[in-house]
Amino acid sequence: MGEFVTLEATAGVGTIRLHRPPLNALNRVLQRELRTAAEDASERSDVRAVVVYGGEKVFAAGADIKEMIDSGYAEALAGQRNLAAALDAVAAIPKPTVAAVTGYALGGGLELALCCDHRIAGDNVRVGLPEVLLGVIPGGGGTQRLARLVGPARAKDLIYTGRYVDATEAREMGLVDRVVGADEVHARAVEWAGQFATGPAVALAAAKAAIDGGLDGDLDSGLRLEGQLFAGLFTTEDQKTGMRSFVENGPGKAVFDGK
C-alpha cells in the first residue's frame, strides 16, 4: 500500500489506483509506487487483468513540473529514466490492461494511458501532450506510443500544437477505444477486464508479447516471434484444456486454470 498508488484485486481484476489530489501529478514518489504496483500486478496470481484508474474526477494531469523546473541535463535525464521505468513497467504487465480515463489525461498522464492495451474514457475527458508549450517534448514514451497508435501525422499534430482533444475526437482518431458516461468509466473498465479473469492466462500473455514485440521490428521478425510463442503454448495445461473442450463440447466452453 503506497502513499499515492495502491493495488487491490477483486475476482481476478486488479485495480492500480492513483490518488494524489488534486490532479494526480506524477511526482517522483508516485512514479516509484506506480512501478512497484505494476511489478506486483505482473507477479500476483490473483491478478489476471488490470485496470489503471485515477479516480472519478481526473486520470492524471502529467508530471510534477515543480520538481523539474530547475533541472539541468543530468537531472532531466535521470528524471526521464525514472518516469520511463514506471511507465514501461505498466506496459510490460503480461496481462490485459485497461486505462479508465476520467477528466484530464495530459502529458505523463496520457503517456500512462498509452501504456495500457485498451482505453475507456468518460465523455468529459480532455487528453493531450502539451509538453511543447513548456519548451520540451514528451519524455515518457509519448512520441513513440502515440505515433504507433494513431499514426505519425496525427501524433505530430497533437505534439506540435500541444492542444487538448475531447472525447469525440479522441475516439475518432483511435486514441481511446470506447467513450461512456463519466460516472460509468470505472465500472465499464472492470467489466472489460473481468472477461479475462478466468481466461487462458499464458495464451493471453503470449498474444500480448507477440503483438507488442512484433511492432518493434519488421514483419518477418514478428512472424517468427509469433510462431515461437504459438508452439510454446503447447506445453501449457490451458492448451490441452481448451482443445479437448473444443473437441468434446464445441467452442467457447473451456474452463481455464491459467497454467
Catalytic (active-site) positions: 63, 108, 111, 131
8 Å CB contact between 123 and 180 = yes
Q: What is the largest CA-CA distance in the chain?
A: 66
Single-letter amino acid code for the residue at 75: E
Per the CB < 8 A criterion, the answer to whether 206 and 232 are in contact is: yes
Phi and psi angles of residue 10, each rounded to the nearest 5 degrees, phi first: -140, 125
Rounded Cα distance between 235 and 180, Å, is 40
Helices (H) and strands (E) in the chain, counts: 11, 9
Q: Residue 86 in contact with residue 35, Cβ under 8 Å?
A: yes
For residues 134 and 248, give the distance between their C-alpha atoms in angstroms, rounded to a whole number: 61
Report d(CA 53, CA 5) in Å as an integer: 10
